[in-house]
Amino acid sequence: MSNTPTKTMTYTRLEGLKHIKAAYDAGIQTFDTANAYSNGLSETILGKAIEKFNLPRDEIVVMTKVYFPVAKEQTTSGTALLGTDTELEAKGYVNQFGLSRKNIFESVKRSLERLQLDYVDVLQCHRFDYNTPIAETMQALHDVVQAGYARYIGMSSCYAYQFQAMQNYAISNKLTPFISMQNYYNLIYREEEREMMPTLKMFGVGSIPWSPLGRGRLARPLSQQTARESKDSWIAVSKTQTDAENAIINRVEALAAAKGISMAQISVAWMLSKDPVAAPIVGTTSLKNLEDILGGIHVKLTGEEIKSLEEPYQAQAIIGHW
């Protein structure tokens, strides 16, 4: 897996093609998407890029996800259909969400059609399904691999006890185990270090964190606000603006200035120093920003620098699992 997989989430068709080609040319070989991203459009664009640029299938790694329902019309908004089971069913999405055997197989089939591929390299569970037995989910995922629709399986955004229960069931019953966990983890949100990271190390599973820049907050000084920050509803939910968070961002800014590099590069370098992180998932709507982020691969932080960046951190509420 390349050091920084890229996320193909909310691009327009033209933007998406440009970003995927630029990422591949820069050495990125892993592309992460999901059936719910832009209601299937993200997968469609990635599939078009693979075909248009003749990206070698034996070289690239394609990752997608299953759990959320996919709206009947594709959109560039990137917004997944959310709601309770009753609310989703009332909208006509009966048996079209969650980790039931039926939805897993139907979702994989539709994802492959949009991607124009025979298989994906990693099929990830986008969330934990409280309403489907773990036995049913893990058997279905195993059968998907056995059928040749996916090479490996991974998990995303759940509690450590849930991951352990699913992984233990797979191992105990000689089914396909998870090889990866895509969790929310960065310098301003390190709650995963308490339970999830030790659990992953115990199982030998790699972490591929999403939002390594904290939804962009670790990429710019506190005095700067972007259009995304003012409109992103997820930021509004997760944004605590604590003194500890502000102190960390200020230290990232100071260290970046001292080294003559960007804050994004410092944040990525810190991420790559953490075990068991295999590679952070990066996503950007700017080719310039993509090039900048990739520069973080070559930055090595000293132990003292890492300690200084982490020192202000304070415990906070769990987020990233909804």
Active site positions, annotated: 37
What are the residues whose beta carbons fall under 8 Å from the beta carbon of 317, sequence distance 6 or more?
A: none
One-letter amino acid identity for 36? A
Rounded to 10°, the helix 134-146/101-115 angle is 40
Give the SS3 label for residue 155.
strand
- With contact defined as beta carbons under 8 Å apart, do 32 and 123 qualify? no
- Phi, psi (degrees; rounded to nearest 5) at 3: -65, -25
Strand, coil or helix: 123? strand
Q: Any bridge partners for residue 210, and if so which? A: 184, 281
Instruction: Give dist(CA 208, CA 141) in Å, integer.
Output: 20
d(CA 152, CA 175): 11
Residue 237: name the closest of 129, 82, 66 by CA. Answer: 82
Single-letter residue type at 61: V
- What residues contact 180, with CB distance under 8 A and at least 6 apart? 122, 124, 152, 154, 155, 205, 206, 207, 208, 278
How far apart are the C-alpha atoms of 270 and 301, rounded to whole Å?
7
Structure tokens at 87: 């609310």
Which H helix or E strand runs over 64?
strand 61-66
- Cβ-contact 134, 169 below 8 angstroms: yes
